[in-house]
Structure formats: structure tokens, C-alpha cells
Structure 1
């Protein structure tokens, strides 16, 4: 029997994606069956490597997903804050790596850590991978010949070949180039059009690299494919306001880095000019979503150090296109649904948009009407972040609405999250009005993510920031029948909680002071995890504001205060 959430999930997926997935599944099964009976498919190719271009592209804006070190013949890889040791020959498919989404294993096969190795270790590791990893083994598409991993690996291998070519042995160099050519052909035949999004951008970047790395028809074919895909994906993936359509600031920065590299590798022309106009918008967003601590916002999937750093992005952008845009004091990205406020004292980022694109909600969280707040350089109210992509309790919590700084009814989610990346029913979000100016900052919006509950409740939140930088939040539930309404605020681990003699709550971290007034709510404190990066868990506290039952209207305020005004508070 098919669960109702499956049809509620599949109905949002474009037919072209479903058709491409069906084609890939059929092809994978057929090729795996053939490989069992054709010995030639089990050994590395002996084709002569195609000719290389005269001016090979150099590494650019490469941010490794982890680290590798070698001592006494032992390779220690550290991905997702989890180290593991290997010796040659490497067991690339060790059983403990085949869990969940296999993200650690994918990182191993990315090879974007190669720049950390000496030439001898570099040659040994690449040679070992080529010898042991042939396509078309059962499950080959999950890791070693996964097109996303391959896109990262191709760029890493080509970049390191350019950097080390004078020091590589002839036989190894020929073998490496032949493997790069084989992987490039495979990628062009297995593009991730069933997934799309940032995965397809990675494919496009790798193809532009191949176009510049190989001479003749091999390079030309890769460039033609990259141009065709990019011309289509720019308008599909980059919203009119410049935000990447998956609505994750971290993934937005990753896509910005990949597209900057594409721009660098492309020939001049109308497509490159169009890409440049998109990059200008995307850079402004990256600047705006950088907290005063220099790190990116954590809305939806991502991590503080998941992708290329904001500083490296800035340097790369200025090398290619000119001055990095200054963060704006007040900005609104209506297509994406984000609204921001920045002063000398505070930075607030507010989400009043949809969860994600209908065809790719994999990185979406239940965070409609959630916000992040920094005072000075200090994060005070934070997004929960992400510990892992493997399905389970941690993955479910990272996506759940109870983990975000918004309101729940009977702890239900705003969307129907399931498995590691699936989303069935999802809310409609409408911004009733917004005023983002130097003197006024207000967003009034509503969503119907709880309308399936008894009484069809609809949540409306109005958030304002006054001249004295007091943040006021008004919540209202229209409809509903007795569901418990609860708002939540997740605090940075450095924040202390102090109750004053009026039972107001003072939040302090260093010189930062924030007073919570919530007269219409009963406030309690619970322990919750904060996951600033993959594999990194820090316990912190969450304020739970129990409003009562729906329908109803409630409010709370956050007042900025100086350390001097509370000098007598211990």
C-alpha cells in the first residue's frame, strides 16, 4: 500500500525530472548486468589519452571538504568532523562507509583534498583509485561513479595535474589523463538532470573545465554541453532577485563559487554577459547574509564552514569582476522571501518565503517566519543547523519546525518532511505587506502549513523593528480548534539566561544584552542541540513560549540593552 505522503510528494516533481530518473534507473541496471559478463568493463581503459590544450586551467577557489594527512604509510582523512584511517591499497568501499546517504564516502571520492599531499602520495592515491574503481559495478552511481562526486573529482584532478605536471612520471600522467577523459565522457552521458539544482551546476562547472583542459573535439563537446545547460539553468535556478532557488545561504555561496569559476573559463559572449549580471546579484546576497562574525547564515541545509569562506568568495569576485558589494542596512529579497536588517548594533535575517522549489525541496526546513539575530559580533538567536544527511532523529530534528525560531501548533511541522530529503505537503506563504526602509522595518505575512489540522488554522506573524531597535513579534492563529500554540527561540551556546525581579528574561553574551518580554506567554527553558557544521554538536538552550490554545493572538518583544543598564545583575 502506497503511503499518502508519496503521491503528495511526487505531484510537485516536474515530469522531465521523473522521466530522466526513470531513464537513469533503467540504464544503470542494464549496465551493471552487462559489466558482470564483459571483462573489458572491469579493467581501466587502454585508449590513448586525448590531446591536452596548450594553456591548462589553474586551480581556482578550491575549498576542500576535509583534510588528509599521511604518516608512516597511513592516510588519515577527516570529513564531516569524523576522522578515519586507511592504508594502500585503499578500501574505497569499506563497509562502515556504506551507511545512509554515504556522505562521508562521497567526500572520500571527491579528491578535492589532493593539494594537501606530496607528489608521491598524490600519485599513489590517484593510481590506486583508478585501478580499483571501475564503473558499472552494482551501486556504482552511489559513490565512486556518482556524477556529483565525479564533477568535484574531475576539477580537483585537472587542477592538480596543471599544478604538478612537471613533477609527474610519464606513465602515471598518461594513465591519469586517460581516466579524466573517461570520466568526462561518463559525466556527459549521466548528467544529474533528475536532481538538478546545485548538482547540475557542479556538472556544468566540471564540463567547462574539461572544455579548457582538452584540445580538439573532446574539449569542444564538453564546452557545447556546458553552454547549453548553463543557458537553461541560469533562469531556472537563479531567482529574479539573485537568490539561488534552493533558498539555502550556504548552498547559494557554493553555487556562486561554481558560477564564478564557470565565468572565468567561458569564452566572451552573450551567455557570459548574462552570467555576469547574475553574479553581481548573487554577490550582494552573499554579502548581505554574512553575519558580523564573518560567517554565513544557517537557514535551511548548510554549515558555517560547509563551502568556500565568505572571505575567499570576496577575494575571487574582486579578482574577476571588481569590488565586492557592501552589505546593505536593509534589504528584501521578495522572490526568495528573505528580509534583513543591519545596523551598527544588530543584524537580523528573517525568512517569510516558501520552503524551497517544488521540484527540489531536499534542503528545505520548516522555518517559515524563523529568524537569526546577532548583536555586535555575537550571534544570539541561531538556526539549529545540520548535523548529518543520514535519515534518523538528528536529520528529522534539523528539518522540523520545533527546531526553528517560529510557531508550532501541537508541535506539527509546517511541511510534510520525511526520509532524509523528501517533502510532501507544503505551506503556501503570502507576504501581506513589507516596509524595509531606513526608518521603518516591518514584515506582515501568513502561511497555511497547518490548514490540514482541525479548524484549518492559518498562522500570521508581524515582525517590526522600531527606531530604538526593539524587535516586536505578533503571532496570530485564525481558525484551529484548541491546538497548543508555542513559539521558540534557540540561543547561541555562549548566551546566559538571567531572570530579573520583574520575571523578565535577560539574555547576555559578553557585552551583548537582550531582554525578552513575553507577557502573553509562559516561558520555559529546554536543552537542545546546535549543529553549526556537519558532525559538530553543541548543546545549548531553547526558550519555549507557551501561548495557549488556538485560535488567538499573542506577542513578545526583544529589547537591546547596554551592559551598563544591567551592571547590578549577577
Structure 2
């Protein structure tokens, strides 16, 4: 390992919790020298739960063993290879989640056939035996079996063994959304098997992790709107589970409802009027349920509505009659689990008359490659990059070394100003001010704290629907949108380039961006 890699690793590891390091070592040693098979005889008869879905997943399983995940289709010509890895680990994970059991077009017979095929191949499973896919698959199996009133000894025994594996391999080494998913699934397993030990652990995890992971304004602390939708869906499922199946009498339902109400408030605040979420951090289209589906689900289970201002998450949303401006003036996320964070401090998205104009490009891959590094990097966001370094050092797919911190934040009426220290090694503080004083004018001021030789560039990424941009001196015109953007500052130079806008995983489309070179100060005025 070279010296630079060691430095990155040390900068990353120093932010971890002791619990993460302990469990990394504990699981490594235990699984290498004391590996066990998690088989425990299920000695009681299992009856399906009461269950019905609020909505179904889009079709990912098509007849004749054809599956489509992450916009990548594959047909197994002979039998299903549940370890199929040609499209990367995330595709394999999706195959093992079994979301397709609860999709729009999957009969009880087809679902049973898929489950039994999986059980027959269990001894050969690899990724599917990891705790995260076990967690999601467990919920999907229980939902499917319950709503179709299916109870088969072989399936129940296999499912019980999976939960034995899960409870002995909880993702304390990762924490964050992974451990929360473990807790959600354990609750489903506890109710399905009427198992007190599973329930005790589920309640402990959910109480502790939701208390920590749901911020005071309702955001999930990893600050990905997509993951927020996923985890909000899961908590709504847990509330419905308890409401439909009377078993435990305690305060867990009340606790879950309180956290879900907060999560609903945050999602309502950051969802654009056309129903789309900002594509910030690790967010992608057609992965999570849509906001409107979740709001309808919340209504069905009688969830109380709360309205909390956006604060702790660092996100803000300015709305007027003509536009919506979403901005990021917060830190990158929890220090010990920033795997889904990007180098995007002071990033923003602008929708005009419900149509996207300036956007976050989103993500198209979870593979550890140059594409993912680029999509997480500063220059792939609507913010300022200085020299050849990122504000926050993203590396190796899901890791972050040094990270930008907000060191000052001021909010007055329709103006918000913040400063970050992501370039402190250059002796620089970057300050950005957003002002929305007039209905049709947005002002952005960038100030670099001292004059330096390093190149200073502000990036502006346009949605693919913005077809034609005209550069005239120190302004640009969006020909078909009636929008003019003016730039004033020292040594301003504007260049137009193309980039790949992410339509989802493994799917991109060419779009336009501009790079505005400046020295020390830049004033951007957007006339709508």
C-alpha cells in the first residue's frame, strides 16, 4: 500500500466509532476461525400474518427467468444463478432481495416457484447470505407468504434460519442505514415467528438507531433523499405490521409513529412540486418509492402530520410562485458513516415552473470505478472547486477522508450565507450567499477568502431538457426557457461543456454545463 493510500485510510478510520472497528475485527476473526452454520429447529406451527400492500413494486421479474435491475436486463437460459455477478454486486443484491415477490405482476404460484428454487440452491449462496440482503428478503418473503396465506414447513424453516444468521451477524461494523434495515427486518421476523428474542433485539435497534439517525428536522442523517424514501417506506410498513397484528403491548408503535411523522415532514419539505426529490448525495431515479406513494401510505395508516422547518439536515428549500430553489449548506453527513455522501457543499438545484433547470447530475453506479469517483466529486455539483482538489476527499467508492465543515451559517429573511473550510490546507475559506429577494431573481455570491494562484471554477449543470445555451460576454441565455444568468467578478471566463446526466443506475444522457472561471469573487444573478 502506497503512502498516499495509507494517509487516506488513516483520515477515514479516525472518524469511525469504536464499535465499528471492534465488530470489523470480531467478525473477521470469528468467521475465519469459528465459522458456524445457523440452523435452529422451528418447533411450532407458523400462521401467516394479516397483511396487505399499500402499493406494489414495479416489475423486475419477467416470465421465463428474465430479470431487470438497475436498468440491466438478464435472462437465465437454464436455471437461475442466484450468485450471478456479471453486472456487479448491487445487481446480485437486488436479485437476492426478492422485491419481485411483491411487484405488480407476480402470481402466488410464480412466487412460490422462485422461493423454492432459492431454497434448493441455498448451499451455494454467497452474497445472498449477507445480513443486508437477508434483511430485505425476509420482509419480502413474510409479506408475500402472509398476503397469499401460504404456510409451508420448508419455507418457514429456511426463513427462520436466515433470521438466526441475521441476529448473529448484525451490521454493527457498518451502522447507519444497514443496521436500521436489520432492525426493521427483525421486527417482521419477530411478528411472523412470534419470537420474543427477535422482538427484543428489533425493539432495541429501532429505538436506539431511529433516535440517532432521524435528525430533529426529520431527515435521515445520511442525507440521501432516496435512502430517506426507502427507510420511510420501511417504517410505514412496520407501523402497518403492528396495527394489523396484535401481539405486543408496549410503546413501540407510538415511538415509530413519532419518528415517521418527522420523516414525512422532511420529505414533504424537500420534494419538488412535480413529485421529484433532489438527486443529492447517493440518489437515483426508480429505486425508492415515490414521495406521493409514501404520502398516500401515511394517510392510510393514519399518520399524524407534522411540519418542521429544514434545519439540522443542512438543506433548505425556497419556494415562490415561479420557482423552487433547493440548497445544501450542511456538512456531508455522519462522520462515522459517510459512504453515501458527495463532495457537494453549497450545491443547489433550481426548478422553474415545476421544470428542472439547474440540477445535481445524480449517480449511475455503485461500482468502485472512475465513474463513481467523478459523480461524487466537487466538479459534478453546482458549487465551486479550487485547484485540482475536492472540498471533501471521496475515494474507493464509499469512503471519505478529509471533509469540508460548515464553520459559519447566517439566515436572515430570504438570504442564507454559509462558509466552509474544505480548502483550509490552501489557507482558504469559501463563502456562498443565496438571496431570493425578488420573485423572479435569485442572487448567488461566492467569496474566496484570499487571492491564490489556484484555479477557481463555479459549475452549473443543466437538465438535458435545457437544449440551447448562448454565451454573450458575461452572461448566458437559456434560449428555450426565457432565463438569463449574469456573472460579475474578477477575470470571469465562461465555458460550455457537456456532461452525462444520470437517468438512473447504468443510464445516462448528454446534457450541458457551464464552467465559470473567476478570481476571488463571483456574483451570479439568475433572471427568470
Which band: TM-score by shorter chain?
Answer: over 0.9
SS of corresponding position for 1:120: helix
SS state at 1:296 partner:
coil
- Give the Å deviation of 1:235: 1.8
CA positional deviation for 1:432: 2.8
- How far has the Cα of 1:229 moved from its partner? 1.0
Distance 1:401 1:542, change over 3 A: same
**For 2:425, what is the secondary structure of its paired residue?**
coil
Q: Does 1:23 align with 2:26?
A: yes
Within 1, Cα distance between the matches of 2:472 and 2:264? 47
Q: How many Å separate the matches in 2 of 1:304 and 1:278? A: 25
Q: 1:131 aligns with which of 90, 105, 120?
A: 120
Alignment equivalent of 1:403, drawn from 363, 380, 401: 380
Match of 1:477 among 448, 471, 489: 448
Corresponding residue for residue 50 of structure 1? 44
1:369 aligns with 2:346: yes
- Is the 1:66–1:79 Cα contact (8 Å) retained in structure 2? no
Match of 1:78 in 2: 68
Task: Determine the structure 2 residue equivalent to 1:564.
Answer: none
Q: Give yes or no for contact 1:111–1:156 (8 Å, CA) kept in 2.
A: yes
Name 1:519's counterpart in structure 2: 488
Specify the SS of the correspondent of 2:382: coil
- Equivalent residue for 1:554, pick from 514, 522, 525: 522
Match of 1:242 in 2: 218
- Note closer, same or farther for the CA distance 1:519–1:59 as it changes in structure 2 (3 Å cut): same
Q: Hey, what's the Cα distance between the residues in 2 that align with 1:214 and 1:232? A: 23
CA distance change for structure 1 residues 398 and 502 in 2, over 3 Å: closer, same or farther? closer
Match of 1:446 in 2: 419
Flag the 1:378–1:497 CA change in 2: closer, same or farther, 3 A: same
Q: 2: distance between equivalents of 1:154 and 1:484?
A: 52
- Of residues 315-324 and 253-262 in structure 1, the stretch that sits farther from structure 2 once superposed is 315-324
Checking the alignment, whether the CA contact within 8 Å between 1:63 and 1:308 is kept in structure 2 is: no
Q: 1:297 aligns with which of 260, 274, 278?
A: 278
TM-superposed deviation, 1:395 = 0.4
Q: What is residue 228 of structure 2 aligned with on the other side? A: 252
- Do residues 151 (structure 1) and 135 (structure 2) align? yes
Q: Quote the residue 2:245 is aligned against.
A: none
**SS class of match (2:134):** helix
Partner of residue 119, structure 1: 108
Query: Does the CA-based 8 Å contact 1:506-1:515 persist in structure 2?
Result: yes
Task: Give the 3 Å change call, closer, same or farther, for CA 49–309 of structure 1 in structure 2.
Answer: farther
C-alpha distance in 1, partners of 2:29/2:54?
Answer: 37
Match of 1:184 in 2: 163
Map of 1:568 onto structure 2: none
In the alignment, does 2:502 pair up with 1:531? yes
Which of 62, 65, 69 lines up with 1:69 in the alignment?
62
Question: 2:175 is matched with which residue?
Answer: 196
Equivalent residue of 2:488, what SS?
A: coil
Instruction: Give the C-alpha shift of residue 311 in structure 1.
Output: 1.5
Instruction: Indicate yes or no: 2:86 matched with 1:96.
Output: yes
Give me the whole-angstrom Cα distance separating, in 1, the residues matched to 2:315 and 2:446: 18
Q: What CA distance in whole angstroms lies between the structure 2 residues aligned with 1:6 and 1:59? A: 46
Using a 3 Å threshold, how does the CA distance of structure 1 residues 156 and 394 change in structure 2: closer, same or farther? same
User: Structure 1: how far apart are the matches of 2:74 and 2:192?
Assistant: 33
Q: Which residue of 2 aligns with 1:567?
A: none
C-alpha distance in 2 between matches for 1:61 and 1:417? 38
Question: Cα 1:63–1:418, aligned 2, differ >3 Å: closer, same or farther?
Answer: farther
Q: Which moved more, 1:378-387 or 1:107-116?
A: 107-116
2: CA distance, partners of 1:183 / 1:254: 22
1:278–1:47 distance in 2 versus 1, CA, 3 Å: closer
What secondary structure is seen at the aligned counterpart in 1 of 2:424?
Answer: coil
Aligned length: 516
Q: How far off is 1:517 after superposition?
A: 0.3
Separation (CA, whole Å) in 1 of partners of 2:237 and 2:280: 25
5 Å-filtered alignment, 1:309-388, equals 309-322=290-303, 332-388=309-365
- Residues 65 and 247 of structure 1: CA distance in aligned 2, closer, same or farther (over 3 Å): farther
Contact 1:388 1:394 in 2 (8 A): yes
How far did 1:332 drift? 4.9
Q: 2:381, 2:459 within 8 Å by CA — same for their partners in 1? A: yes
* 1:282 paired residue number: 263
Pick closer, same or farther for the CA change 1:380–1:183 going to 2, 3 Å.
same
Q: CA deviation at 1:497?
A: 3.1
| SS state at 1:4 partner | helix
1:492 equivalent in structure 2: 463
Structure-1 separation of matches of 2:523 and 2:8: 34
Q: Decide which moves more: 399-408 or 243-252.
A: 243-252
More divergent stretch after superposition (55-64 vs 14-23)? 55-64
Could you say which residue in structure 2 is the equivalent of 1:459? 430
**1:38 match:** none
Which has the higher mean CA deviation after the structures are superposed, 9-18 or 525-534?
A: 525-534
Report the CA distance between 1:120 and its aligned residue.
3.4
CA contact (8 A) 1:250 1:307 kept: yes
Output the CA distance in 2 between the equivalents of 1:411 and 1:175: 58
Q: 1:333 offset after TM fit, Å?
A: 2.4
Distance 2:55 2:8 in 1: 39
Q: Distance in 2 between matches of 1:503 and 1:546?
A: 11
